[in-house]
Amino acid sequence: MEVDSEGHDQFENLPSPPRASQYGTGATVSSDTDASGVKLRRRLGDLVAKYEGLELKYRDLREIGIKTAEQNFDVLKEQSEERARTASELISNLKADLATQRSLAKEGEQTKKRLLDTEARVAELTKLLADAKQEAKTLCNKLAQSRSAEVAVTSRVPGSAVKGGAAAARAIATASSDAVQAAQLKEDLYGDLTGLIVRLVRRDPAAQVFDCIQTGRNGTLHFKLEVEKEVTGDNYEEAHFTYKPQLDPSRDRN
C-alpha cells in the first residue's frame, strides 16, 4: 500500500522517542515507547482511511467521467447520423430539382422550335394571303374592263341613232365602272369582316367553282365550293353545293 507525501511529512514531524536517562528507571522508558507506538498506529490508521476515501472518490469520478463520455458520444453519434440523413435528403431533392430543370429546359427548347415553325407558317400564310388579295384585285380589274367593253359594244346603234351615241356610251361605261368599284368595295369589306377570300372563280360546263380561303384565329382553311349550273337565275337555295377542302400535309398537321 502506498502512502502519500503528507503521511511522510507527518511521520517526519513525529516527536522522536526520548532517550533513556542514565538516571531514569526501566519502567519509565517502556511506558514512553508504548505511548509513541499507539500514536503512530493511530496516525497510520487515519492516513489509510483518508487514502481509501480518496480512492473511492477517484473511482466515483472515473465512473462519472466514463458515463458522461459515453452519453456525449451517443449524443454526437445521433447528431452525426441526423446530419447525414439531412444531407442525403438534400442531395436527393437537389437531384430531383436538377432532373425537373432539365425536363423543363427540354420542353422549352421544343416549345421554342414549335414557335419558330408557327411563325414561319404564319409568314408563309401571310404571303399567300397577300398574293391572293393581289390576284383578286387583278381579276376584279380585268372583270371591270371586260364588262365595260361589253357595255360599250351593246350600246352601239346603227344609222341616225349614232348621233349622241358616244356620249351615251361614255355615260354607261362610267356607270358600269362605278358599279364594279362599288361591288369590289363590298367584296373587300365582306372579306375583311368574315375573313373569306374568293381567290378564283372558274366556270365549267356543269358547275361554277369558287376557290376560297377562310382565315381566322384558329388558322387558315383552303377549300373549293362547286355550284351546279342547273340553277335558274340567282336562286341559290335550290342549288346543289359541293364542299371540297384542300388539305396540305405539310401545312395542315395536328
Instruction: Tell me the per-residue pLDDT of 170-199, one tens digit each, with 9 for 90 and over.
Output: 655 566 666 667 667 767 777 677 778 888
Mean pLDDT of the chain: 75
| Cα atoms in the Cβ-side hemisphere of radius 13 Å centred on 90 | 6
* pLDDT (mean) for 87-105: 93
Residue 222 has pLDDT above 50, yes or no: yes
Tens of pLDDT, residue by residue over 35-71, are 788 888 889 989 999 999 999 999 999 999 999 999 9
For residue 75 the three cell numbers come to 449524443
Query: Rounded to two decimals, what is the model's pTM?
Result: 0.32
Provide the pLDDT confidence category of residue 154 given band limits of 50, 70 and 90.
low
Highest mean pLDDT among 112-121, 138-147, 161-170: 112-121
Of the candidates 192, 210, 203, 216, which has an alpha carbon nearest to the alpha carbon of residue 246? 210
Instruction: Break the chain into its structural domains and give their ranges.
Output: 1-11+25-135, 195-248
Phi/psi class of residue 159: alpha, beta or left (left: φ > 0; alpha: ψ in -120 to 50)?
Answer: left
Angle between helices 26-154 and 165-194 (to 10 degrees): 160
Residue 73: all three cell numbers together: 458520444
| pLDDT on residue 161 | 46
Which residue carries 341559290 as its cell? 236
pLDDT band of residue 137 (cuts 50, 70, 90) is confident
Q: Which residue has the higher pLDDT, 27 or 240?
A: 240
CA 215/CA 235 separation, integer angstroms: 27
Question: pLDDT value at position 57?
Answer: 93
- Strand order in 241-245's β-sheet? 196-203, 207-216, 219-228, 241-245
